[in-house]
């Protein structure tokens, strides 16, 4: 480089060296507890998201059932630093607005299962279809079969509660069509047998609801409750099947036609009572309308599989 170029080239300004006070601090490691505090309170966010459920519940079991219905599992509860959904539900119940009031003893049974005048009235209403059907058939009333079919379907509507679906009455209409079609094909004795089976169906459904609620109170995980609910449902189904066979024998109806249809109606009653979606129920009842002897058997078997899956969930046993 020449002397002239050196004179023209500007010399770079000296870079300012920051002092110790001005130097940026080195990133320090943040403890895990501090990171959790910064991230906020995830349980509080969950409480805000399900505020209506938590404030309406009368015990933590209802919150656990509601959380499961919204897709929260034991694995999800681990992200909220809880071992299972039940433990998470207990914290949500304690932190809800209702927690300031003293919590009374949890009602383990639905109101329809508890003892007292209401339970007696419910059992009396369940006895009524069979008594009227047997009386009408014994008196030789011409419309005894149609009346028995109507009373049987009315017993399905009476204990039901709201469930999902655009057509909430579709299942009841299909049940009326299936029972009416079966009574037309097999005569009055079949309709009478179905009406007589309403009473044992009421007792079996009440026993299942009560035992499942007790098992839910004793469970500490959703899988634990499901493992206990499945054999309970199997025992109730077997007991009702035997009772339906006895009702068919009393009415003089063919067992091969009466028992599968009675079991189909019993499972329909259970699923509607526990708030299950009506889509699979309606599909099974529509299958029973097919004029093939094995149609009712296939419909009852398919609905039994759906009932095992639906009724082994804790959310199916929350009070309406």
Q: What is the pLDDT of residues 84-121, one digit of tens each?
A: 788 888 888 888 775 444 444 344 344 444 455 667 77
Question: Which residues have a Cβ under 8 Å from the Cβ of 78 and sit 6 or more positions away?
Answer: none
Render pLDDT for 236-282 as a digit per residue (tens, 0 to 9): 999 999 999 999 999 999 999 999 999 999 999 999 888 788 889 99
Give the separation between CA 273 and CA 236, rounded to whole angstroms.
15
Per-residue pLDDT at 181 exceeds 70? yes
**Where residue 69 falls among pLDDT bands split at 50, 70, 90?**
confident
By CB atoms closer than 10 A (0-12, 13-18, 19+), residue 181 is middle
Per-residue pLDDT at 147 exceeds 70? yes
Helix, strand, coil percentages for the chain (3-state, nearest 5)? 70, 0, 30
Per-residue pLDDT at 18 exceeds 60? no
DSSP string, 154-212: HHHHTT----SSS-TTHHHHHHHHHHHHHHHHH-HHHHHHHHHTHHHHHHHHHHHHHHH
- Give yes or no for a contact between 271 and 310, defined as CB atoms under 8 angstroms apart: yes
**Where residue 182 falls among pLDDT bands split at 50, 70, 90?**
very high
> Half-sphere exposure of residue 177, counting CA atoms within 13 Å on the CB side?
16
- Residue 73 is predicted with a pLDDT of 79
Which residue did the predictor score with more confidence, 247 or 74?
247
Q: What is the DSSP letter of 59?
A: S
Which residue did the predictor score with more confidence, 302 or 106?
302
Q: C-alpha 138: how far from its chain's center?
A: 40
Task: Locate the domains of the chain by residue range.
Answer: 38-100, 117-317
- Residue 30 is predicted with a pLDDT of 39
Render pLDDT for 194-205 as a digit per residue (tens, 0 to 9): 999 999 999 999
H or E, element range at 44: helix 42-49
- Give yes or no for a contact between 171 and 268, defined as CB atoms under 8 angstroms apart: yes
- Residue 251 is predicted with a pLDDT of 93
- Residue 183 is predicted with a pLDDT of 92
Q: Sign of dihedral through CA atoms 310, 289, 286, 122? A: negative
**Where residue 3 falls among pLDDT bands split at 50, 70, 90?**
very low
Per-residue pLDDT at 46 exceeds 60? yes
Give the separation between CA 238 and CA 62, rounded to whole angstroms.
29
Q: pTM for the full model?
A: 0.71
Per-residue pLDDT at 124 exceeds 50? yes
Most confident stretch, 135-139, 152-156, 179-183, 209-213 = 179-183
Per-residue pLDDT at 141 exceeds 90? no
């Amino acid at each position: 480089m020449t002397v002239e170029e050196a004179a023209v080239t500007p010399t770079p300004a000296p870079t300012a060296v920051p002092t110790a006070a001005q130097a940026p601090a080195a990133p320090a490691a943040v403890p895990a507890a501090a990171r959790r505090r910064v991230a906020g309170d995830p349980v509080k966010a969950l409480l805000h998201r399900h505020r209506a459920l938590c404030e309406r519940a009368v015990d933590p079991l209802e919150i656990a059932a509601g959380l499961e219905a919204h897709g929260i599992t034991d694995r999800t509860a681990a992200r909220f630093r809880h071992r299972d959904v039940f433990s998470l539900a207990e914290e949500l119940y304690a932190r809800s607005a209702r927690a300031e009031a003293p919590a009374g003893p949890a009602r383990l049974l639905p109101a329809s299962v508890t003892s007292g005048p209401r339970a007696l009235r419910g059992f009396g209403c369940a006895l009524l279809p069979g008594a009227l059907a047997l009386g009408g058939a014994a008196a030789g009333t011409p419309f005894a079969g149609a009346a028995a079919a109507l009373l049987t379907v009315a017993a399905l509507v009476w204990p039901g509660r709201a469930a999902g679906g655009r057509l909430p009455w579709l299942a009841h209409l299909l049940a009326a069509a299936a029972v009416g079609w079966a009574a037309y094909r097999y005569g009055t004795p079949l309709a009478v047998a179905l009406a007589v089976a309403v009473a044992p169906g009421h007792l079996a459904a009440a026993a299942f609801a009560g035992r499942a609620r007790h098992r839910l109170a004793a469970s500490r995980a959703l899988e634990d409750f499901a493992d206990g609910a499945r054999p309970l449902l199997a025992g109730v189904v077997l007991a009702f099947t035997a009772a339906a066979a006895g009702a068919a024998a009393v009415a003089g109806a063919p067992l091969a036609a009466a028992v599968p249809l009675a079991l189909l109606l019993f499972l329909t009653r259970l699923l509607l009572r526990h708030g299950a979606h009506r889509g699979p129920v309606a599909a099974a009842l529509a299958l029973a309308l097919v004029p093939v002897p094995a149609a009712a058997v296939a419909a009852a078997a398919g609905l039994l599989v759906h009932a095992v899956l639906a009724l082994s969930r804790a959310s199916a046993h929350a009070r309406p």
